[in-house]
Amino acid sequence: MAHKAAFFDVDGTLTTERVWKGILEYFKQHNQRRFLQRWFWYYHAPHYLLHKAGLISQGRFRTAWAAHLAWFLRGSTAEQAQAIWDWVTNEYLTPFWRADALQLVKDHKAAGDLVVLVSAGLTPLQADIAHHVGADLAVGTDPALRNGRYTGGLAGPVCIDEQKALLSKAALAAGGHQIDYAASTAYADSRTDLNLLEMVGKPVAFYPDEHLKPIAQQRGWAIVEQASDPSS
């Protein structure tokens, strides 16, 4: 029997801050990989400017950005990297959780829905976040391991644009989950989440950015732009 699922983007949906910043902040706070931190910014600054000028797409810019976060793991074991994920989830993100999004996770869980986090971020971190918020599954960008250590590369595509839907369906099928996608819901904030939103019968533009909002309005999708005030 097919079940309903609730898919949540993470950056900008579950949080008000970009989760990738927590990875860089971890290395800054712990005074590690200082040259790599500088190189990461130097490498991506021109691409950011090209994106802001409309010369490259949001998806292209974010794909490279997400892929290169794996550089920071090079040489680490999964056990060593766990310290990064725990710090980002339990310390860095503490002031940035969206209370209304976390309540939606609880509501879907209470309704018996399978809750899935889907993000371009590195999968081990997304799994840590999923455990923290009570989600059932995390789908993300897989960093490559060789001989028990991260290589600094990826083991598959970046989980963005069309890959959000493809990787979500593959992960659910691999886990033996039969999903009624027409009855399922997705919450996301960016145009790079468009395929994830199109995958379900109940798409919700959740605090949408300037690119996603007009698309959601044109298609008549539900839009959430601010938390309701329970005292009103």
Q: Per-residue pLDDT tens for 22-45?
A: 999 999 999 999 899 889 888 888
In a domain, 17, yes or no: yes
Judged against a pLDDT cut of 50, whether residue 85 lies above it is answered with yes
- Give the span between the Cα atoms of 41 and 28, in whole angstroms: 13
Q: Using alpha carbons, select from 164, 214, 204 the residue that is nearest to residue 184.
A: 204
Q: pLDDT digits over 126-164, tens only?
A: 999 999 999 999 999 999 999 999 999 999 999 999 999
- What tokens appear for 190 in the block? 């960016």
In a domain, 159, yes or no: yes
In a domain, 33, yes or no: yes
Give the residue, 50 or 139, on which the prediction is more confident. 139
Judged against a pLDDT cut of 50, whether residue 68 lies above it is answered with yes
pLDDT given at position 1? 76
Q: Strand, coil or helix: what is 228?
A: coil
Q: Are 87 and 26 in contact (CB under 8 A)?
A: yes
pLDDT given at position 232? 30
CATH of the domain at 13: 3.40.50.1000
In a domain, 85, yes or no: yes
Q: pLDDT digits over 87-120, tens only?
A: 999 999 999 999 999 999 999 999 999 999 999 9
Judged against a pLDDT cut of 80, whether residue 122 lies above it is answered with yes
Number of domains in the chain: 1
Strand order in the sheet with 137-141: 137-141, 114-122, 5-8, 185-188, 202-206, 222-224
pLDDT given at position 73? 96
**Residues 6 or more apart whose Cβ sits within 8 Å of residue 165:** 195, 196, 198, 199
- Give the span between the Cα atoms of 137 and 172, in whole angstroms: 9
Residue range 207-225: average pLDDT? 96
Report percent pLDDT > 70 for the chain: 97
- Give the span between the Cα atoms of 217 and 226, in whole angstroms: 16
Q: Can you give the residue range of the structural domain that contains 50? A: 5-224
In a domain, 37, yes or no: yes
- Read off the pLDDT band of 226 (50, 70, 90): confident
pLDDT given at position 228? 45
In a domain, 232, yes or no: no
In a domain, 230, yes or no: no
In a domain, 231, yes or no: no
